[in-house]
Structure 1
Amino acid sequence: MATTEQLYQHYLKHSTICTDTRTITEGCLFFALKGDNFDANTFTEKALDQGAAFAIIDNAKYAINNQCILVADVLTALQDLAKHHRKQLNIPVIGLTGSNGKTTTKELIRAVLAEKFQVFATKGNLNNHIGVPLSILSLQDDVEIAVIEMGANHQKEIEFLCEIAQPTHGLITNVGMAHLDGFGGFEGVKKGKAELFAYLKAHHGFAFINRNNPYLLEMSEVAGLNKVVYYGSEKENSISGKLQHSDPLIEFEWATHHAHYQAKANLTGTYNFENILAAICIGHFFELSPEQINTGLANYFPNNNRSQLSKTEKNTVICDFYNANPSSMSAALNNLKSLSSAHKTAILGDMFELGAESPEQHELIAKLASQSNIETLIFIGKDFYAYKEKYTGHFFNTPAEAAVYLQENPVVANLVLLKGSRGMALEQLLYLL
């Protein structure tokens, strides 16, 4: 069995990691991970034929030549290799988690810091027990600072990811009604996210905290953090800010203890202002100038279906269908209500992973939407469909059924919110809008 140190010597010569034979590159290390419906050990020969330098496997049956490196468990070997690599790096690593806004905040931080540093930030949604090790193993010698997103749907997961990423700095965007099934309710969400604070406390790291969020303040106090940098609306914070306009894009003022600055962002949604302030706070902490910070913010254009404003031939669409939970859904609806438009449509898909609280949470969203000034409401999914007789709007079990309705009743000259959990695949409706 190969040791982590032996694997690391191979990694130093072949630093590209592949876990999928569809993305093999010449000279990479192929890690034969297992999934629910596949065993990548069976693709060992194919990976080597396509140019992989070595294949890391955990089934000796597939060790066809000396390019096959046998380990006890491929996933554990990948995680241990990432931990070992991280220990060799002497750079700031910003660990980022939260119920909502993680990816948007990560991209804002990356855009700001890139005005001064060579920055690595988690690609896409590689934020779990496989994605975080892959992200760490992507850190090369030229990287000066890293932003590592960490997702979780149960307790102890953030703790585990911190052991791999070993953050020196950290940020929890917020805590909300997300993954309630896995966390065991809202208190479980708080406890799970606070594992980042616990790691920072134990390793003398800095935490960036939104002072306007009472949950984060409580969690930081429980963790006993003593290296804290605050941002929020009040002047005593390291960075303070005031939202001035968000219809539809955000304009705002921000300030240090010494000066005020005006800025804009290419984002919609009042709820994104706290994410912007977090990026400003981190930029200021790492000694970027106000001009560099504002330039970084202005250069960020969302393209990941999170708070993304798209103008189609027929409508203006807020594309926010990458994910959804009750907290983010409420924020998106309240934002739509506040925007000025003669006609508004909300197309809402089911929210997943809510466990026993799912019926109550879907009803709360249906009620909130029905009581709004939104002209047209379309609900999609079996959980929303259960309230078809109770609340106003058009209810459908599937996106396909909703598509038929939209073809027969075209939405034109509307401001449209399109939001639902990833599994609802609401992007399939975009061509009709």
Structure 2
Amino acid sequence: MKKKIEQLAEWLDIKTNFKGVVVTGVSINTRTLKPGDLFVPFRGENVNGHQYVRQAFEAGAAASLWQRDEPNPPKDVPLLIVDDCKLALQEMARSYRNELSTMVIGITGSNGKTSTKDLVASVLKPYFKVQKTQGNLNNELGLPLTILSLDEDTKFAVLEMGMSGFGEIEFLSRLARPDYAIITNIGEAHMQDLGSREGIAQAKFEITAGMASHGKLFYDGDEPLLLPFVEEFPQAVSFGFGENNELAVTNIKATENGSSFLVSGIIDAAFTIPVLGEHQVKNTLAAILVALEAGLTEEEIRRSLKNAALTDMRMQIIQADNGATFINDAYNAAPSSMGAALNFLRETTMKEDKWLVLGDMLELGDNEQRYHEDMAKLISGEISGVCLFGPRMKWLRDKLAVSFSGEVIWSENDYAPIIEFLKERISSDSIILVKGSRGMALEKVIEPFTAN
């Protein structure tokens, strides 16, 4: 974005006495602010961003918003006085989106949003100018910041859309106006806010609210809860494991270099990705569908998928100093994604000695005990031992005491016992899957094994 301050004032339907000031970005944090940015000060529970406006200008800000009811605005710097800084940020993003010819791909789902975002961006990037959501900027503040960060000549923008309640995805969809939308799956995250998986499906389908009339929805065709919604949405294309999907996958094979698989339906072809896990292969189907819409050939898709790069902690292969292989899938966890990861470990032939490090699954609502206990059904004799971390994992430990013959250790809030337990047991013949919700920070279990 490169706009004069008077253009921003026009977007916001306000007046400004400053002329010619050029804004080249937007920031809400003085620590990451770049020269030329517009600073947006927010009032939070503990911090009022207005007290950092001076600091923002010292760091090179070109201009700043200022909320009208905030006293003592500085007089000698370019300010845009607005009624509400958050609404102003969103309105600027809406106006800028209206000017862009960029094709927008919106992605939502209970699990796999970031991996799918990375896969879509990876398959397009060798052939087009692509930008994607950075980090977790996928909510009512993050999405506007992402839109305002887009270069005017960007061909494809791959945007995550997250939520915790009804109406949030609809708002983001109407703001971003996606040309294509992807629903990766329907899981159990945010059950406490949405009440049921049916409610989650309804909330995720809100991504279609702002879609362009020519747009298409790519959705998890293995999820029956989405069927009532897609029946009334003619531009919907299904993908998944089931043979009735319009793009179906079979013959998934895991190697130390990733996964190979066959697809059938819209195209019949073989592909490989440098990523492990059947769930990641399924996410790749959405990327293939987008690539086909972008006009890429089968060979172009195959070539770019071979070099796809995912954000860390998504089935990330990490070699320990002693030769053991860690699979770091510790970015997040819900029953569906946990089950997919456990299936991978049970079926993989990469190494014979298999271990699990599992952390609490958060935000599951009233049924969280049952969801944790149900994991015991997926842990069988192929697993040498299980390390459990967090207060909720005590439920799983109690179930495993009855059903599992291997070694089990549980620690409520200290990583050290688990680290020591593994140090005494794993070798170059071991593969260790590490998975839990983000709040459990299970990557800390891996760090001592890769000190060199």
Instruction: Tell me the TM-score normalized by structure 2.
Output: 0.88
What code does the residue aligned with 2:291 have?
G
Q: Does 1:284 align with 2:292?
A: yes
Equivalent position amino acid for 1:220 in 2: V
What SS does the aligned partner of 1:376 have?
strand
Q: Check 1:244–1:2 CA distance in 2 against 1; reply closer, same or farther (3 A cut).
A: closer
Q: Aligned ranges for residues 42-61 of structure 1 at < 5 Å?
A: 42-58=51-67, 59-61=69-71
1:36 corresponds in structure 2 to 45
Report the CA distance between 1:397 and its aligned residue. 0.3
2:92 aligns with one of 81, 86, 103: 81
C-alpha distance in 1 between matches for 2:347 and 2:171: 40
Shift of the alpha carbon at 1:407?
6.9
For the 8 Å contact 1:209–1:217, the answer to whether it is kept is: no
Q: 1:379 aligns with which of 365, 380, 388?
A: 388
Quote how far apart the aligned CAs of 1:236 are: 7.4
Deviations 1:141-198 (A, max 9, x none): 1101211110112111101111211112111011011121122221211111011134
Measure the CA separation in 1 of the matches of 2:373 and 2:421.
23
Residues 1:313 and 2:321 are matched in the alignment: yes
Amino acid aligned to 1:49: E
| Residue 261 to residue 373, structure 1, CA distance change in 2 (3 Å) | same
Deviation at 1:54, TM superposition (A): 0.9
User: Is the deviation greater in 12-21 or in 99-108?
Assistant: 12-21
Q: Is the 8 A contact 1:15 1:137 kept in 2?
A: no
The residue type equivalent to 1:344 in the other structure is K
Q: CA deviation at 1:400?
A: 2.9
| Residue correspondence of structure 1 range 411-426 to structure 2 within 5 A | 411-413=426-428, 414-426=430-442
How far did residue 295 of structure 1 move? 1.4
- Does 1:195 pair with 2:206? yes
- In 2 relative to 1, CA 389–280 (structure 1 residues): closer, same or farther, beyond 3 Å? closer
Query: Which residue matches 2:102?
Result: 91
* Cα displacement string for residues 180-217 of structure 1 (whole angstroms, at most 9, x for unaligned residues): 112222121111101113443x8453112343333333
For residue 4 of structure 1, the aligned residue among 5, 11, 14 is 11
Cα 1:197/1:12, change in 2 over 3 Å:
farther
Distance 1:85 1:401, change over 3 A: same
CA distance in 2, matches of 1:97, 1:12: 37
2:162 aligned with 1:155, yes or no?
Answer: no
Q: What corresponds to 2:151 in structure 1?
A: 140
Residue pairs, 1:238-387, within 5 angstroms: 239-248=247-256, 249-255=258-264, 260-314=268-322, 315-340=324-349, 341-365=351-375, 367-387=376-396
Mean Cα deviation higher: 52-61 or 266-275: 52-61
* Residues 268, 307 of structure 1: 8 Å contact kept: yes
**Counterpart contact for 2:119–2:310, Cα < 8 Å:** no
For the structure 1 residues 374 and 129, does the alpha-carbon distance in structure 2 shift closer, same or farther, using more than 3 Å as the test? same
Amino acid at match of 1:134: L
Structure 1 position 2, deviation (Å):
5.7
Q: Helix, strand or coil: the match of 1:245?
A: strand
SS class of match (1:36): coil
Deviation at 1:255, TM superposition (A): 4.4
> Which residue, 130, 133, 139 being the options, matches 1:128?
139
- Between the two proteins, the alignment pairs up a number of residues equal to 428
Which deviates more from structure 2 when the two are superposed, residues 148-157 or residues 51-60?
51-60
DSSP 3-state at the match of 1:175: coil
CA distance, structure 1, for counterparts of residue 394 and residue 378 of structure 2: 14
Give percent identity, aligned residues only: 32
Query: 2-side partners of 1:253 and 1:311: how far apart?
Result: 28
Mapped contact 1:93–1:169 kept (Cα < 8 A): yes
Contact 1:407 1:432 in 2 (8 A): no
Out of 15, 24, 33, the position equivalent to 2:24 is 15
2:445 matched residue in structure 1: 429
Counterpart code for 1:252: F
* Partner residue, 1:180: 191
Distance in 2 (alpha carbons) for counterparts of 1:304 and 1:282: 23
Taking the aligned partners of 1:88 and 1:122, their CA distance within structure 2 comes to 19
Counterparts in 2 of 1:356 and 1:11: CA distance versus 1, 3 Å: farther
TM-score normalised by structure 1 residue count = 0.91
Deviation at 1:56, TM superposition (A): 1.0
CA displacement at 1:219 relative to structure 2: 2.7
Q: Which runs of 5+ in 1 are unaligned?
A: none
Distance 1:289 1:353, change over 3 A: same
| Equivalent residue letter for 1:377 | V
Describe the shift of the 1:139–1:286 C-alpha distance in structure 2 as closer, same or farther (beyond 3 A): same
User: Which of the numbers 395, 405, 409 marks the counterpart of 2:410?
Assistant: 395
For residue 111 of structure 1, what is the aligned residue in structure 2? 122
Counterpart-to-counterpart distance in 1, 2:326 and 2:423: 19
Whether the aligned pair in 1 keeps the contact of 2:334 and 2:362 (CA below 8 Å) is yes
Tell me, in whole angstroms, the C-alpha distance in 2 between the residues paired with 1:333 and 1:12: 55
Whether the 8 Å CA contact 1:17–1:137 is kept in 2: the answer is yes
Q: Deviations over 1:332-355 (max 9, x none)?
A: 111111112221110000011112
Cα separation, 2, equivalents of 1:210 and 1:358 = 24
1:288 to 1:41, Cα distance in 2 relative to 1, 3 A:
same
Q: Distance in 1 between matches of 2:74 and 2:331?
A: 41
> What letter corresponds to residue 213 of structure 1 in structure 2?
E
SS at match of 1:268: coil
**In 1, Cα distance between equivalents of 2:425 and 2:413:** 18
Q: Partners in 2 of 1:319 and 1:265 — Cα distance?
A: 17
Greater shift, 230-239 or 423-432, is seen at 230-239
